[in-house]
Amino acid sequence: MIVIENLSRIYRKGSNEVAALQDLNFRVQQGSFVSVIGRSGSGKSTLLNLIGGLDRSDEGSLFFKEKDVMQMSRRELALHRRFSVGMIFQSFNLIHSRTARENIELALAFGGKSRRERKKQAMQLLEAVGLEDRADHQPTELSGGESQRVAIARAMANKPSVLLADEPTGNLDSATSGEIIELLQNLNKQEGVTILMVTHEEDTAHAVSDHLLRLSDGKMLEERRISQ
Amino acid sequence: MNYPDKLIIGLANLWRMKLRSGLTILGVVIGIGALTSMIAFTSGIQKNITDTFEENDVFTSMYVTPVKADPSSIDLAETMKEGISSLDDDILDSIRTIEKVAIAHPEITFPARLKLKNKDDKTRIQALPKAMEQYKPYSDLLAGRFFSSDTAKELVINWRTLRSLGIIVKHKDIPRDFTENDSLEEYRILPPDSILGQTIELVSAKLDIGNVMKNPLKAATGTENVFTEESMPFTIVGILNVERNISAAGIKGGAIIPSETAKAIPRLDFTSVWDLLGNSGGGGQYSSIYVRVDDMQDLETVKKSLEDRGLNVFALADQLDQIRNAFLIMDAILGAIGAVALLIAALGIVNTMVMSILERTREIGIMKSIGASDHDIRTIFFAEAGSIGLVGGLFGILLGWAFAFAAQIVINQHILPNDELPVDLFYFPWWLVLGALAFGLLVSLTAGLYPAIRASRIDPVKALRHD
């Protein structure tokens, strides 16, 4: 589903060059749960940003369903972000001026849904993450776990086949983290959504994923398939 | 995402920052208000002049005078010889034969006194043929009718003359404000119908040649009265309509009488050197002749053919182009002053939008991460800028109108004399209202161009890291 070949991303500032990713090669099967682990600065988030179409590589290819994301136009990248992938972040990234429901409706609006459809689907998504009673709450009125659930609901609004999760439990306590991981597992198992999760927590990664990538200084240190 | 959704997002963003948005919109309101009120002012003056021209048939009227002798010329006799030196009935008849001339009549006005009951008023009397009744402003009287014939002893009077005679016509358009001096006079407020049919005395003076010849020295020193007065009764048959504009060029006197009747009235009617030379009025020599065509297109042709006959022709319509050019310059100057206010408002929009981008960088990153395209972001910011312009434009027009309304009241009540008709100094034509709205929108969209492009080009990765 995702094929990465010789992928490199170098950040330049003046004469300084920092290689965030170097010559990366791997494949992701549809429906798999991939965990990307590594220390801070190892290139995990950069990799997710490239797959999510938020950033561009300096070298190499990134095929998503046989189409090279790195060759896409800005408009095609926007469509890729809109329909092909959903993203969740450590800091949830909800828009604070909008309620939980409106945050989801915004994603549905970019997906071209009518006002009536947006309202209906947003409520269904909130129901799926167990937050239908929090629909009209602002993000500041939600707990960390609830915010991340809303973020997951929003990421799944346009039914992407891949969910990219950048440290989704990084700001949560262990109990809430467990709930979020469970939610991701359900999406993976029941909905068939491919999950790529960046995490610090090796135990969690081993417990939930069937494919493990370990990065160090932008290079692939280890790639392992785990049978669950 | 469709355009209404983007507009709603834009409006919601403006609503979020109420104070800042309000102040930015206020800048546009002031800019558009200044621009519209200034252009409305020049439009108002221009409309007043054009309407006056139209109401008085200026576009179809011209005045023929003898060729003017150039007083600076050394050989005056030679100058006089070159053209026609006086207007008489032969010239009048020849003018009437020119194709497309609808009517031609001599311009006759003379001073007289009008007496009504115990009041009298000095005014000028204008003599007109009955045929003029079909033309403005005589075709549209406030009350009554034009004279029944050229020999009738009937008179059409101006409402101002009636006022001087102690009668205020009861009519919605006629002002009834009183000054301190007015309050000493006795006025009667009468409906037009009760004025019509009243008898009015026209008292004219003539030079008593016999008395002058008998006592030339006394006449010269003013100790002997060389004038005699003669009175003639007239029936008031009509009241001239209220002039809707600053002046009514077509009406040249306080009352109008039939042209043939006027010939029988002894009078002092020297209005030019030709009259003083003798044979004015009854002698068939005139200082000027009024010529009218039915269609304004024919004015130039007739004018040329009159000039070919050695006559001097003056048509006010010729001045209109110059007046229009002057107004264009005035429009440009006042418009530029208004535009400066709008330019400052535009800078305010740019400032607000750039600030908004800085504050919403992370939000832009989030929107991009959930699928917003550059175009979506650009349009949302455009919608914000456009909304500022549209709302500012609407309220700006209202402000301009309110300012004009207040200025109108101040001018009419405190600056113009009390008995002057109120004037409409401001005019808001539909093109000004729509143009101001469109201009406000255009300026705000132009001001929003840079911020919108800047917002759309934001790198989502950096934006998501932004605090």
- Nearest Cα of chain A lies from the Cα of B440 at a distance, in angstroms, of 29
pLDDT for res B280: 45
Q: A122-168: per-residue pLDDT in tens? A: 999 999 999 999 999 999 999 999 999 999 999 999 999 999 999 99
Summarize the confidence of residues B432-445 as an average pLDDT: 91
Identify which has the larger pLDDT, B441 or B241: B441
Give percent above pLDDT 90 in chain B.
23
The pLDDT of residue B340 is 87
* Range among A114-118, B15-19, B241-245, B305-309 rated most confident: A114-118
Q: Does residue B285 or residue B445 have the better pLDDT?
A: B445
Q: What is the pLDDT of residue B215?
A: 67
Nearest-5° Cα angle at A87, A83 to A92: 140
Does B418 have pLDDT greater than 70? no
Task: Tell me what pLDDT residue B71 has.
Answer: 45
Which 363-382 residues of chain B touch chain A by CB within 8 A?
Answer: 363, 365-376
Q: CB of A225 within 8 A of CB of A208?
A: no
- Please check whether residue A48 is in contact with residue A198, taking contact to mean a CB–CB distance below 8 angstroms: yes
Give the residue with greater pLDDT, B437 vs B70. B437
CA atoms within 13 A on the CB side of A189: 10
Give the count of Cβ contacts less than 8 A between chain A and B. Answer: 64
The reply to whether B160 touches chain A by the CB within 8 Å rule is no
Complete DSSP assignment for A145-157: HHHHHHHHHHHTT
pLDDT reported for residue B140: 80
Chain-chain contact of B461 with A54 (C-beta, under 8 angstroms) = yes
Q: Mutating which of A110, A113, A147, A152 best tests the B interface, going by the most B Cβ atoms within 10 A?
A: A110
Question: Domain extents for chain B?
Answer: 3-54+322-465, 108-287
* CATH, domain A2-225, list 3.40.50.300, 3.30.420.40, 1.10.3720.10, 3.40.50.1820: 3.40.50.300
pLDDT band per the 50, 70, 90 thresholds, residue B76 = very low
Per the CB < 8 A criterion, the answer to whether B280 and B274 are in contact is yes
**What's the pLDDT at A82?**
94
* C-alpha to C-alpha distance for A156 and A172, rounded to whole angstroms: 21
User: How crowded is the C-beta side of B194, counted as CA atoms within 13 Å?
Assistant: 9
pLDDT top residue among A121 and B249: A121
What does the DSSP 8-state code read for residue B66? P
Are B45 and B425 in contact by the 8 Å Cβ rule? The answer is yes
Over pLDDT 70: what percentage of chain B? Answer: 81
| pLDDT number for residue B142 | 85
| Cβ-based contacts of B362 with chain A (< 8 Å) | 93
Give tens-digit pLDDT for B366-391: 999 999 999 999 999 999 999 999 99
**Which is it for strands A16-28 and B167-169: parallel, antiparallel or unpaired?**
unpaired
Mean pLDDT for chain A?
Answer: 92
pLDDT for residue B243 is more than 90: no
Question: Which residue type occupies B313?
Answer: V
Are the beta carbons of B368 and A78 separated by less than 8 Å? yes
Note the helical H segments in B229-316: 259-263, 273-276, 299-308
Tokens of residue A54, six digits:
């938020």
Nearest of B197, B126, B114 to residue B163 by alpha carbon? B114
Pick the more confident residue, B241 or A100: A100
pLDDT of residue A30: 92
Per-residue pLDDT reduced to its tens digit, B22-57: 999 999 999 999 989 988 988 888 888 877 777 767
Identify residue B306 by its one-letter amino acid code: L
